[in-house]
Amino acid sequence: MTQIADNPHPETDDDLKRALGPLHLISLGIGCIIGAGIFVLTGHAAAGYAGPGVVFSFAIAGLGCLFAGLCYSEYASMIPVAGSAYTYTYATLGRLIAWIIGWNLVLEYLAAASTVAVGWSGYLNNFLTGLGLPIPAAFASAPLAGHGFADMSLTGTIVNLPAVVLIGLITWILIVGVKTSANFNNAMVVIKLTIVLAVIFGCFAYIVPANHTPFIPPNTGEVGHFGWTGVFRATGVIFFAYIGFDAVSVAAQEARNPQRDIPLGMLGSLLICTVLYMLMSYVLTGIAPYQTLNVAHPVSQAVEALPGTIWLAPFVNIGAIVGLSSVVLVLLLAQSRVFYAMSKDGMIPPAFSLIHPKFRTPFKGNIVTGIFAAMLAGALPIDILGELVSIGTLAAFTIVCIGVMVMRVRAPRARRPFRTPLVWVTAPLGVFMCLFMMVFLPGDTWLRLAAWTVIGLAIYFFYSAAHAHPPRYHIKNLPAE
């Protein structure tokens, strides 16, 4: 007897092609995690919040993700289908909470993909400018600027064309097929990991001890600006870098052996990336004063400042271009699969779960996702987009940790191919760490989360509640032995 309930339409569970093995999934996670965090956020978090102590910020964020990832892995082994936290929550905690989680995942993935695309555009323009081929100013940046929606102004440009083109290309790759997408991602992961390791080992000998003194700069008197509160604030800010491990679970329905491979993919990519983030942030703040790193291209700026490492600068730019494009690929893949799962449940229109007859991908969901992501990336600056990320994902992780504990009480004898170790320690620690990171995020981030949730609830009560199907999956107890 299985813990997944019978489905009246079982053929719908196999309409996505199972083509991904454990290496594909680990690479998928690395492809999404190693990107904006190393190439953009490290410098921003060090200069604005934590100084060299950003190393601790990455460790704390990685630890929080580890606890959440262990809970995710138990869920993913029990319900190995598309949808990630949304599907798990629907199967265990009910329709309304699942909708809230799914709706916030929509915001996180769309905003994150658009943010990274804008960062990619900046690196591409810097690289082409170095070759004497700059992108015309009217098409190189967003037509809107400002630090918040209340003070937006026009810049005089037309559209951030490179960001739009990137999202269009990635959308086409995703429609062609998940294995093609995964192989494309694997190639990009190899390139950017090679460059990241080259920077770490090539620059280690050039670390200036004075740049690491003090390792945690004294607090300025304001919460979140250096000192330990700055380290904690930076943890919430750089958490954006880690949302890629959740994207692995979204691809569960396309994994060949999801009960084994999803936990391997999630935890393997998380461990590898946490180590790389800590090493890179240590080296970066060691070769350059942290105050100089609050730029769009902190890694290339740092290596350009040293005669012994300047030769790495063009390779860093190439690594950023490759690395950030693979992040966009995984984020858009994850977004379309969340739409797919929500559509299967009747929460959103059925077009989002239509499968291409040749490529076996949810192509209409890919197209709609690509259009909205391109609109955001083409019109808005990176700081506005970046403010829309992180908090909803932390909320989703919190509810996953709670859900695992709930199911240990409701269905203690359910089949669990992967069991969260020390669940009554791990899951509460996951809840605590996620809430801890949320508390240190700026107040306006909470306001945007509230506004987005209100919009989502309006859609739920006017459309989803009337069209939703009964849950396709639920977890049952096995008979007592």
pLDDT digits (tens, 9 = 90+) for 28-45: 777 777 776 777 778 878
Tokens of 371: 């259009």
- Start-to-end CA distance of the chain, whole Å, equals 13
Cβ proximity of 102 and 338 under 8 Å: yes
- pLDDT category, 459, cuts 50, 70, 90? very high
pLDDT of 62 higher than 80: yes
The CA-based diameter of the chain, rounded to the nearest angstrom, is 73
Q: Give the per-residue pLDDT at 300.
A: 81
Mean pLDDT of the chain: 79
Q: Average pLDDT in the 43-60 region? A: 88
Q: Give the per-residue pLDDT at 64.
A: 86
Cβ proximity of 335 and 113 under 8 Å: yes
Of the candidates 449, 344, 393, 414, the residue with the CA atom closest to the CA atom of residue 9: 344
pLDDT of 429 higher than 90: yes
pTM to 2 decimals? Answer: 0.77
Taking the C-alpha atoms of residue 412 and residue 94, their distance in angstroms, rounded to an integer, is 18
Taking the C-alpha atoms of residue 226 and residue 220, their distance in angstroms, rounded to an integer, is 7
Q: Give the per-residue pLDDT at 259.
A: 67
Q: Average pLDDT in the 122-130 region? A: 81
Q: Give the per-residue pLDDT at 7.
A: 41
Least confident of 71-75, 125-129, 177-181, 226-230: 177-181
Q: Which residue has the higher pLDDT, 284 or 380?
A: 284
- pLDDT category, 2, cuts 50, 70, 90? very low
Query: Span 23-467: which CATH code?
Result: 1.20.1740.10
Would you kindly state where each structural domain of the chain is located, as residue ranges?
23-467
Q: What are the backbone dihedrals phi and psi of residue 322, each rounded to the nearest 5 degrees, phi first?
A: -70, -45
396-421 pLDDT per residue, tens: 788 889 988 988 888 888 877 778 88
149-208 pLDDT per residue, tens: 556 677 778 888 999 999 999 888 888 765 555 666 677 778 888 888 888 988 888 888
pLDDT of 1 higher than 50: no
Q: Which residue has the higher pLDDT, 40 or 299?
A: 299
Q: Average pLDDT in the 276-290 region? A: 90
Cβ proximity of 208 and 283 under 8 Å: no
Q: Give the per-residue pLDDT at 11.
A: 38
Q: Give the per-residue pLDDT at 463.
A: 92
